[in-house]
């Protein structure tokens, strides 16, 4: 009889311990399931198809690199309004120019008329601005997007310069 009551007592203890484990496990599952975060979908900017850093030359009348500057880095990027405008910025590397241009993101084109240059007291006209997908070759021969634009500056009226170049790949062998 004593053995039987001892077995019953042990079964009650085991049942109580098992009940606690099941309750704790259930609580842990509910707690962990409630930690899920509903993060918003990350989207790009309106200008992401045109935005990039570029290695360009300043050309004129068919003569490449008319000022002997060589390739220099410019950037095209979205405005804070994230609308149909972009910044065209030579980052102080070429003609010291930074101005807004209107962009057609579907056709990868952009242009400006009498746009204020933020680096100097001049205005800029930009015609025939376009990004050509996979139509350029980097310094090391890799295929990359290319950029083309015609620029006229108010301090040099009537003279049209061309900026031509390729997308910066960020590979060391492609940098100038």
β-strand pairing of 123-137 with 143-153: antiparallel
- What are the tens digits of pLDDT across the range 110-141? 999 999 999 999 999 999 999 999 999 999 99
Residues 30 and 63 in one domain: no
* 40-44, 59-63, 102-106, 164-168: least confident range: 40-44
Q: At which residue do the structure tokens 């910066």 appear?
A: 168
Domains identified in the chain, total number:
2
CA–CA separation, 92 and 111 (whole Å) = 20
33 and 57 assigned to the same domain: no
Residue 45 located in a structural domain: no
Kindly indicate the confidence band of residue 13, based on its pLDDT and cuts at 50, 70 and 90.
low
Banded model confidence at residue 169, pLDDT cuts 50, 70, 90: very high
As a whole number of angstroms, the distance between CA 129 and CA 52 comes to: 14
Is the pLDDT at 8 greater than 60? The verdict is: no
**15 domain-assigned:** yes
**Choice among 46-50, 84-88, 110-114, 144-148 with the minimum mean pLDDT:** 46-50
Collect all residues with Cβ–Cβ distance below 8 Å to 106 and sequence separation of at least 6.
Answer: none
pLDDT of res. 123: 97
The reply to whether 84 and 6 lie within a common domain is no
Asked whether residue 30 falls in the same domain as residue 62, the answer is: no
Domain around 32: 1-37
pLDDT, mean of residues 61-71: 90
What's the gap between Cα 171 and its chain centre? 16
């Amino acid at each position: 009889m004593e053995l039987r009551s001892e077995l019953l007592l042990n079964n009650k203890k085991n049942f109580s311990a098992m009940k606690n484990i099941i309750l704790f496990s259930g609580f842990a599952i509910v707690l962990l399931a409630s930690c899920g975060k509903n993060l918003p979908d990350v989207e790009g900017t309106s200008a992401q198809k045109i935005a990039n850093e570029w290695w360009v030359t300043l050309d004129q009348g068919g003569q490449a690199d008319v000022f002997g500057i060589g390739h220099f880095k410019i950037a095209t990027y979205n405005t804070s309004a994230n609308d149909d405008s972009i910044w065209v910025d030579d980052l102080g590397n070429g003609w010291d120019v930074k101005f807004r241009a209107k962009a057609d993101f579907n056709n990868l084109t952009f242009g400006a008329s009498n746009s204020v240059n933020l680096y100097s007291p001049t205005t800029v006209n930009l015609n025939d601005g376009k990004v050509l997908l996979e139509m350029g070759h980097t310094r090391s021969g890799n295929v990359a997007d290319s950029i083309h634009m015609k620029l006229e500056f108010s301090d040099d009226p009537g003279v049209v310069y061309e900026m031509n170049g390729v997308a910066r790949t960020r590979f060391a062998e492609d940098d100038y």
